[in-house]
Amino acid sequence: MKAAQTTKEKNTVYTVITADLVHSRMMPPKEREDFFKLLKAQLKLLSVRYKFTYNIYRGDSFQAIIPHPYKGLLIALAIRYYVRTLKMVTYSKQADIRIALGIGLVDFLKKKPEYSDGPAFHYSGTRLDELDKGKIYLGIRTHNESINDELHISCALLDQLIQKTTINGASVLYYKVLGYKEQTIAKKLKISQSAVNQRSRDAGWSVVQLFIERYNNFKFK
């Protein structure tokens, strides 16, 4: 049995990410299976890097718990850009994923996210339900309505930029979100550093940076 949360854990602001793949149920079974293998590998890689737990459920969705409000955004953007590097063969178009972040406290934590609960889970779940009704694939909710109002607009604008990002651009911004330098990205993608810089500009990295900087200035407690 897991021990009760400590006072420090109870006062920790968490990011709960709830996400589901767009149009995944329309994929042929084999393509869907291959797609989820890639997503699962990516979640494992990021969870080791950022020390968070996650669970894939329903075949096309996952939930992650990050014990940090600011790292949660970087993880969400990394996942989004990674998925944007993949192509849906059935539709001959880039894949995409709907992601909702809930920022707040957690009442109790278990080893698996689905057995945990608290405000951060509620914020994330309700925000994803709202996203499911429209064509915006990125949303964030907190306990602060003033912050929510600003994020509602800025997330919608950033989402439109991400939806227009090409596979080449997404490949570069995936690494940029994770903090890699252009020289390292060039080596990983086997392209020139000038190509990395160009793709970065074309994908709107300067806008993404402004979004991250503004987000990091919010006070979530």
Determine the average pLDDT of the residues in 4-16.
Answer: 70
Under the banding of pLDDT at 50, 70 and 90, the label for residue 10 is: low
What is the percent of the chain where pLDDT is above 90?
73
β-bridge partners, 65 = 16, 53
Q: How does the average pLDDT of the chain come out, rounded?
A: 91
Q: Is the pLDDT at 206 greater than 80, yes or no?
A: yes
Domain ranges within the chain, ordered by starting residue:
7-143
Q: Please tell me the predicted confidence (pLDDT) of residue 115.
A: 65
Q: Please tell me the predicted confidence (pLDDT) of residue 2.
A: 46
Per residue, the 3-state secondary structure of the chain, as one string, reads: CCCCCCHHHHCCCEEEEEEEECCHHHCCHHHHHHHHHHHHHHHHHHHHHHCCEEEEECCCEEEEEECCCCHHHHHHHHHHHHHHCCEECCCCEECCEEEEEEEECCCECCCCHHHCECHHHHHHHHHHHHHCCCCCCEEEECCCHHHHHHHHHHHHHHHHHHHCCCHHHHHHHHHHHCCCCHHHHHHHHCCCHHHHHHHHHHCCHHHHHHHHHHHHCCCCC
Q: Could you tell me which residue, 86 or 58, shows the higher pLDDT?
A: 86
Q: For residue range 109-139, list pLDDT tens digits in order.
A: 766 666 677 899 999 999 999 998 889 999 9
Determine the average pLDDT of the residues in 155-168.
Answer: 97
Q: Indicate yes or no: pTM above 0.75.
A: yes
Q: For residue range 11-65, list pLDDT tens digits in order.
A: 789 999 999 999 887 888 888 888 889 999 999 999 999 999 999 887 679 999 9
Among all chains, which residue has been given the structure tokens 């969705």?
61
Under the banding of pLDDT at 50, 70 and 90, the label for residue 9 is: low
Q: Please tell me the predicted confidence (pLDDT) of residue 3.
A: 46
- Top-ranked range on mean pLDDT: pick from 76-90, 92-106, 180-194: 180-194
Q: 79 Cβ partners below 8 Å, 6+ apart? A: 17, 19, 42, 43, 46, 97, 99
Q: Domain 7-143 is classified in which CATH homologous superfamily?
A: Nucleotide cyclase, GGDEF domain (3.30.70.1230)
Q: Please tell me the predicted confidence (pLDDT) of residue 5.
A: 52
